[in-house]
């Protein structure tokens, strides 16, 4: 473990998600402890995207933005909101120069798969249709997210390919959750890692899927064919049960002819970039913005 991260390990207590409502409350309280982001260089606006049901979004518009990203928060598809992700979305907009459209998708177990995917996809379609209003190039629209949001972004890209939906320029997948089977080495062996570990991951999938079988739209690692998907930046953490499915997905994308940048961060754990004082966290967060900036410029 990175020595700068070790002192913070007691701040990440176990949570088996047995009570999703209580877990959301704790998650929100922890997020609220982060310092407020500097949004002086952008316009931030809450909107509602018409859909069935309508989807709340928060739009971060830096000056002279050229592209946009549909951004999906972390929280295991059970926790998280526009507010918990506010510091991350604002930082991503600031670092990348892209319009960030943060999505308040419906959460499990009250709203199981495919509710979150439907919400995210509706926002992608809305973004493409309103590119001129947003002041962005419709050829420069990306999808991305943290953790479960990263897996959701990968699913949005699969669905857009299958349905000949809006063109997606890029996938920004940070520590993505992609596989419900929990059969990789990291998923089997990381049973006591900080914040995310095997049993918690299993609970997340139970909440999201219920008794329904997983499809590639729920767990993108199940997709047989990854050809024709957008270029991707995938970041993984060393002590994370999701590590190997992220690396495996990157390799399969490469083998399918999709350009991929894979960044495996040594000494880190799932979500450890939330510890802003650690030098490795600062590099992790900066690299996400830089990767998106490069993709929008290319």
**214 φ/ψ angles, rounded to the nearest 5 degrees:** -75, 140
pLDDT number for residue 214: 97
E strands of the chain, at which residues? 42-49, 55-62, 68-72, 99-103, 141-146, 170-174, 232-239, 260-269
Residue 58 CB partners (closer than 8 Å, separation 6+): 44, 45, 46, 47, 82, 86, 89, 101, 102, 104
pLDDT tens string 243-256? 999 999 999 999 99
pLDDT number for residue 12: 82
pLDDT number for residue 33: 86
pLDDT number for residue 19: 96
- In sign, the C-alpha dihedral spanning 130, 162, 113, 51 is positive
Q: Tokens 């176990």 identify what position?
A: 14
Alpha-carbon distance 290 to 35, whole Å? Answer: 22
pLDDT number for residue 62: 96
pLDDT tens string 144-169? 999 999 999 999 999 999 999 999 99
Q: Which residues are catalytic?
A: 147, 240, 270
The 10 Å Cβ neighbour count of residue 294 is 13
Please list the ranges in the chain whose pLDDT falls under 70.
none
pLDDT number for residue 94: 96
- In sign, the C-alpha dihedral spanning 206, 124, 225, 144 is negative
């Amino acid at each position: 473990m990175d020595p700068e991260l070790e002192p913070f390990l007691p701040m990440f207590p176990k949570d088996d998600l047995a009570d999703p409502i209580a877990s959301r409350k704790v998650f929100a309280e922890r997020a609220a402890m982060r310092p407020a982001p500097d949004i002086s260089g952008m316009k931030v606006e809450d909107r509602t995207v018409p859909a069935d049901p309508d989807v709340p979004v928060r739009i971060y518009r830096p000056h002279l933005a050229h592209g946009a990203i549909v951004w999906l928060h972390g929280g295991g598809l059970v926790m998280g909101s526009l507010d918990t992700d506010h510091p991350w979305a604002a930082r991503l907009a600031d670092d990348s120069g892209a319009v960030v459209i943060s999505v308040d998708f419906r959460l499990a177990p009250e709203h199981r798969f495919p509710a979150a995917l439907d919400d995210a996809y509706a926002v992608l379609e809305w973004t493409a249709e309103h590119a001129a209003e947003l002041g962005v190039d419709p050829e420069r629209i990306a999808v991305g997210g943290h953790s479960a949001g990263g897996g959701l972004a990968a699913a949005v890209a699969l669905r857009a390919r299958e349905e000949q939906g809006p063109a997606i320029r890029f996938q920004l997948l940070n520590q993505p959750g992609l596989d419900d089977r929990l059969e990789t080495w990291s998923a089997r062996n990381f049973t006591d890692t900080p914040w995310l570990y095997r049993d918690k991951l299993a609970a997340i999938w139970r909440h999201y899927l219920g008794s329904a079988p997983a499809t590639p739209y729920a767990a993108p690692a199940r997709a047989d064919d990854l050809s024709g998907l957008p270029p991707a930046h995938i970041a993984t953490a060393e002590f994370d049960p999701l590590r190997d499915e992220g690396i495996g997905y990157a390799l399969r994308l490469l083998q399918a002819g999709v350009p991929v940048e894979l960044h495996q961060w040594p000494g880190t754990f799932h979500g450890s970039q939330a510890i802003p004082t650690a030098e490795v966290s600062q590099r992790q967060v900066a690299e996400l913005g830089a990767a998106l900036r490069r993709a929008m410029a290319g």
